[in-house]
Amino acid sequence: KQPHQKELFGHPVGLYVLFFTEMWERFSYYGMRALLVIYMIAQANHKDGPGLGWTELEAYQLYGWYVMLVYVVSIPGGILADKVLGQKKTVMLGAFILVLGHGTLAIDAPWAFFVGLGLIILGVGCLKPNISTMVGGLYKKGDIRRDKGFSIFYIGINLGSLLATSIIGIVVAKWGWHAGFGLAGIAMLFGLLVYIFGQKFISHVGNKPTVEEKKEDVSIMKIFSNIIKSPMQLAIFAVLLAFSIYVGFTKEGVDHWGYGALFIFLSFVVGLMMMIFKSLETQILKDRFLVLLLSFLLVIVFWGAFEQAGGLMSVYTEQKTDRMLFGWLVPTPMFQGLNAGFIILLAVWVANIWAKRKLKNKEASSLFKMATGTIIMGLGFVFMIFAVREYEANGSSGMQWLVLAYLFHTIGELCSSPVSLSFVTKLAPVKYASLMMGLYFAATGLGGKVAGILGEKSESFGEYAIFTGIVIFTVAFGLLVIALLKPLKRLTHGAEDNEVEMN
């Protein structure tokens, strides 16, 4: 079939189909996320209608699980695309499940809450990693526009988030919680429609693996079946896995078994990776796979610090910041909107800076950008240290510290996050493209979990120590990656060396 290669503003039209699909998907995701915790803790007499009336601790726990699972399910979502459906159909399936999921939350019944959340986790797992891989598929190997394409896509993500967080509160205040959840469902329906009607512009990407590809493929199932040969072994494996999740992630598990148990769970992921590594045919594929895995460590560090936004920094904003602006008390959630707003303002600027550097032949590899981004984001916490100092002296601290911190966080995110997506699509072995994207998102989810743990630790160590620790660790880790850049880049075997204009 002849691919439709029409272009708009210097990028394939398919990019805009994926842009608007993802914009609506993120509208529904972030809109619903903005309601989730406050809905769980809202009492029967809440002004927007009765919530679930949970304690804050219960709500935080479920929230942590939810955010982590949403991204960890990207791994099976990626496998489903690589092995069975192809990315395009898996995204369609995900969008459909998401409409159902958000729609279910619109129903005011106890069962609907958990069923809705479960469907959303499955839906995001099918959609998020695969739509990102498809963006990469729009560009040929070595096309210099790829990184910029991801930056544009990233604007769509944040446009959705900004729209949702500005509108959904108003809807809930007028018509109640379930109208808010329903709005997320309607938004997702728009996303599904954009995707359905845009199919002709993406006909050449994300297709099913061909029969030959499947034949020569060493599938994960095959690798698994080589290790697990009897139902007994499968049962042992399942019990071990369940136990690892229990000791690594649940509150009682962590209290009784310590964080070392997290290690058990991670070993499973590492084991899986080693099996895939062994199954790769050439040294080039192996090296690239390895450098990608190493870069995921940076991803965990990045999101472990960045995700303080929804936890520790949010609580700090609420409790210790003087939020009066010209006689108006700025609502806490608005500070989270700063991130999305700054992204929309700065995405093109940051992408251009790197593109210019690249044209001048200065260091602009993805790893360098990711490390620089981690350092810039980490330095944002210096402003939080100033804030804590001011709070200790005066009993409250100014809003400017938060604005500056989020500004640095956003510039760091723009150096790192869209670039990482692009990097994954450049380096992943084709037959595991979606799985690797799934793993990338799982790493961000793990970072989120780390952020939660750091938040808990702040209760005993205090915010000053946590913020200082984050600055030191992120900057040191970023510098370490920069120091190791040469050998790391050697492992990419020139995946980024010959990027050229390909209009």
Helices (H) and strands (E) in the chain, counts: 20, 4
Identify the residue among 444, 458, 474, 492 touching ligand GLN (CB under 6 A): 444
Closest CA to 147 of 341, 354, 290, 298: 354
Task: Show the binding pattern over residues 63-82: x = contacts ligand GLN (CB under 6 A), - = does not.
Answer: --------x-----------
The nearest distance, CB 325 to ligand GLN, in angstroms, is 26
**Is 366:67 a contact under the CB 8 Å cutoff?**
no
Sign of CA dihedral 138, 143, 147, 148: negative
Residue 32 CA to residue 11 CA, distance in Å, equals 31
* C-beta closer to ligand GLN: residue 159 or 387: 159
Q: Which residue is nearest to ligand GLN (CB)?
A: 444
**CA 448 to each of CA 54, 69, 123, 147, 170: distance values in angstroms, whole numbers, following the listed order:** 22, 11, 19, 25, 28
**CA 201 to each of CA 129, 195, 298: distance values in angstroms, whole numbers, following the listed order:** 19, 10, 34
What single-letter amino acid sits at 303? W
Residue 154 CA to residue 23 CA, distance in Å, equals 9
Residue 31 CA to residue 228 CA, distance in Å, equals 42
Task: Show the binding pattern over residues 301-330: x = contacts ligand GLN (CB under 6 A), - = does not.
Answer: --x---------------------------
The nearest distance, CB 436 to ligand GLN, in angstroms, is 14
The answer to whether 26 contacts ligand GLN (rule: CB under 6 A) is yes
The nearest distance, CB 112 to ligand GLN, in angstroms, is 25
Task: Show the binding pattern over residues 394-433: x = contacts ligand GLN (CB under 6 A), - = does not.
Answer: -----------------------x----------------
Number of residues that bind ligand GLN (CB under 6 A): 7
The nearest distance, CB 303 to ligand GLN, in angstroms, is 6
Residue 18 CA to residue 127 CA, distance in Å, equals 11
The answer to whether 157 contacts ligand GLN (rule: CB under 6 A) is yes
| Diameter over CA atoms, the chain | 70
* C-beta closer to ligand GLN: residue 79 or 343: 343
* C-beta closer to ligand GLN: residue 301 or 388: 301
* C-beta closer to ligand GLN: residue 303 or 467: 303
Instruction: State phi, psi for 10 to the nearest 5 degrees.
Output: 75, 10
* C-beta closer to ligand GLN: residue 168 or 280: 168
The answer to whether 178 contacts ligand GLN (rule: CB under 6 A) is no
Q: In sequence order, what DSSP letters do the residues of 349-405 get, joined into one string?
A: HHHHHHHHHHHTT----HHHHHHHHHHHHHHHHHHHHHHHHHHHHHSSB-THHHHHH
Write out the binding residues for ligand GLN, residues 354-393 only, by CB under 6 A.
none
The nearest distance, CB 51 to ligand GLN, in angstroms, is 25
Site residues (vs ligand GLN, CB under 6 A): 26, 71, 157, 303, 417, 441, 444
